[in-house]
């Protein structure tokens, strides 16, 4: 049995104390760290997930396997982080408020760090305000990644995304960027008018747009208006 297969078997069985040493042995024998992660640990967790889905195992067994994988990840992480870390930019990653799960978040953080990004990991149960504060302190951040496992924390995920989407940093607003924003909204209105076959910048067209908008919201549509409604899933 190869060392990678041994790692996969240990993760699947939830042997937390043995996974770390097995991962180290695989590294010492020259196995590719990415292969250990993908073909060993992630593939094992996929099997665990399938067994859970099929009712062959239950939550405790799944959590034991996840804990075993975490031990392996701790050994593997330094070998995945390359010398080019940060070359592609910064990424903020966090599990949203109310959720304490971090296995998925940690895996993603490790993989994007190994790809060349600098990762700012805010941990678990992170309120939207803290994520926004971190973004303001790191305006050169390229990506903000959010994790949520529990269905009960999906509203927190939505609220965080909405809060982040509404941010306008004062220092970044100048005549050029403000003009770009206005041009963006003008183009959006113009395009919407084209779809509805109205002149968006004519007062009669504006009134007709209101009438058509009411029809869309009331699901009283046909022809091009129905196509537009279907496109926006209204």
Q: What is the pLDDT of residue 227?
A: 77
Residues 6+ apart with CB under 8 A from 17: 71
> Pseudo-torsion of CA 80, 81, 83, 88, nearest 10°?
110
> Are residues 157 and 117 located together in one domain of the fold?
yes
Give the position of tokens 């509805």: 196
Look at the chain and report how many structural domains it folds into. 3
State which of 121, 137, 167 marks the end of a domain: 167
Decide if 212 is inside a domain.
yes
Asked if 7 and 58 touch (Cβ cutoff 8 Å), the reply is no
Q: What is the pLDDT of residue 15?
A: 94
CA distance 211 to 196: 11
> Are residues 190 and 219 located together in one domain of the fold?
yes
CA distance 184 to 157: 27
Q: What is the pLDDT of residue 171?
A: 61
Q: What is the pLDDT of residue 114?
A: 66
Q: What is the pLDDT of residue 169?
A: 63
Give the position of tokens 């050994």: 75
Q: What is the pLDDT of residue 67?
A: 83
Residues 6+ apart with CB under 8 A from 207: none
Q: Give pLDDT < 70 ranges for the chain.
A: 1, 81-87, 114-115, 168-172, 203, 205
What is the domain-level CATH number for residue 72? 1.10.1240.10
Q: What is the pLDDT of residue 203?
A: 65
Asked if 12 and 38 touch (Cβ cutoff 8 Å), the reply is no
Decide if 85 is inside a domain.
no
Selection from 109, 108, 1, 21 nearest residue 68 by Cα: 21
Decide if 10 is inside a domain.
yes
Q: What is the pLDDT of residue 137?
A: 92
Give the position of tokens 């937390």: 16
Selection from 133, 113, 151 nearest residue 37 by Cα: 113
For 44-68, the pLDDT digits (tens) are: 988 988 998 899 998 788 878 888 8
């Amino acid at each position: 049995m190869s060392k990678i297969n041994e790692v996969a078997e240990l993760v699947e069985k939830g042997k937390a104390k043995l996974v770390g040493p097995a991962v180290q042995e695989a590294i010492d024998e020259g196995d590719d760290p990415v292969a250990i992660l993908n073909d060993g640990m992630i593939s094992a967790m996929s099997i665990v997930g399938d067994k859970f889905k099929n009712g062959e195992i239950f939550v405790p067994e799944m959590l034991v396997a996840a804990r075993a994988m975490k031990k392996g990840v701790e050994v593997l992480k330094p070998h995945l982080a390359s010398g080019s870390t940060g070359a592609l930019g910064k990424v903020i990653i966090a599990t949203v408020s109310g959720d304490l799960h971090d296995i998925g978040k940690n895996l993603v953080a490790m993989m994007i760090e190994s790809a060349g990004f600098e990762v700012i990991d805010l941990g678990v149960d992170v309120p939207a305000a803290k994520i926004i504060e971190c973004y303001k302190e790191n305006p050169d951040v390229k990506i903000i990644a959010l994790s949520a496992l529990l269905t009960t924390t999906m509203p927190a995920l939505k609220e965080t995304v909405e809060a982040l989407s509404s941010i306008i940093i004062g220092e970044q607003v100048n005549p050029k960027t403000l003009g770009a924003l206005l041009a963006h909204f003008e183009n959006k209105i113009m395009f919407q008018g084209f779809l509805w076959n109205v002149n968006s910048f004519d007062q009669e067209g504006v009134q007709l747009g209101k009438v058509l908008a009411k029809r869309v919201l009331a699901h009283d549509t046909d022809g091009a208006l129905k196509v537009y409604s279907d496109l926006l899933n209204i």
